[in-house]
Structures are given as structure tokens and as C-alpha cells.
Structure 1
Amino acid sequence: MKTIGVDQTSLDDCVRDAQQERIILTRDGVPVAPIVGLEGLDAEQLELGISDAFWKLIAERRGQRTMTWDELERALPG
């Protein structure tokens, strides 16, 4: 992640740099905006990335118990 002052860069430079790493813009040393590159992502990836419902689902799933491979094999029939 790279931090840049808004008075030290241009939008074009931020967009170019953001394709390689996340950029945090600051004003007077205080973070004011993230810049995240989207080049190479398809429409579905973009939609999921900004979907509050998707991220809520992910957070709920991360809170659930997981199974080991052995547990899964024992739970499956046959």
C-alpha cells in the first residue's frame, strides 16, 4: 500500500499506480480516499466487490464452524 498526498500527485498517476498496489490519498497527512485499481476485473467481480449483501454473507460464513477433510469424508455417504 502506498500513501500519497493529494497535492503531490495527479489523478492519472494515481490510477496508473493503483493498478499495481492500493493507494491512500492524504490531505495534510490525514487519509481522505482509497484508490483501488480495477483493471482486468470482469463485471461480476466488480459487482461482488461493491455488494454489501455479498460481504455480509462472507462475514457470516467466516463465523461458522468449518470441517476438516476427514470430517467431510466421514459425513458423505458411501
Structure 2
Amino acid sequence: MKALGLEHATLNDCVQEARQGRLVITRKGNPVALIIGIDEEQMELGSDGSFWQLIENRREENGISREELERALESV
């Protein structure tokens, strides 16, 4: 993850860096923003109501806790 100082950042620089990965914008050395690039598929999924309905349905299903998952993975 790359960091770029706000005093040196231009919108074009931020977009270019975010296309490669996550970009942290800093002000006086402290993080103030995170920019994450997205692709066309992510945009399409994010605006598709049926995708979000699928997510909502999955969240309502019973699952296992993170602790249970970690225990299961430790035994592998």
C-alpha cells in the first residue's frame, strides 16, 4: 500500500496510484483518507439489486463465528 502526502497529491496522481492498489493519503504524516481503485465488474455488481439481495440472504443464513473458523483451520 502506497502513501502520498496531501500537499503533493493531485487527483490524477491519486487515480493512477489507486488503479495499482490501495493509496493512503496523509496530512502532516497522519493518514486521512484511503483510496481504493475499482474495476468495471465491481461497479456493475455494486449497482445490481439482485447481487445485494443475494448478499442480504446470505447474511441471514446461519454461519460459523470467526473463532470457529480459525479453530477449524488450525486442525488442517
Give the TM interval when normalised to the shorter protein.
0.5 to 0.7
Cα distance change of structure 1 residues 29 and 12 upon mapping to structure 2, 3 Å threshold: same
The equivalent of 1:15 in structure 2 is: 15
4+ aligned runs moved over 2 Å, structure 1: 39-42
Q: Distance in 2 between matches of 1:20 and 1:61?
A: 34
Unaligned runs of 5+ in 1: 69-78
Equivalent residue letter for 1:5: G
Percent identity, aligned pairs only?
31
Written as runs of structure 1 = structure 2, the 5 A alignment for 1:59-74 is: 61=63, 63=65, 65=68
How far off is 1:61 after superposition?
4.1
| SS of corresponding position for 1:24 | strand
What is the TM-score normalised by the length of structure 1?
Answer: 0.57
Unaligned runs of 5+ in 2: none
The equivalent of 1:31 in structure 2 is: 31
What is the TM-score normalised by the length of structure 2?
Answer: 0.58
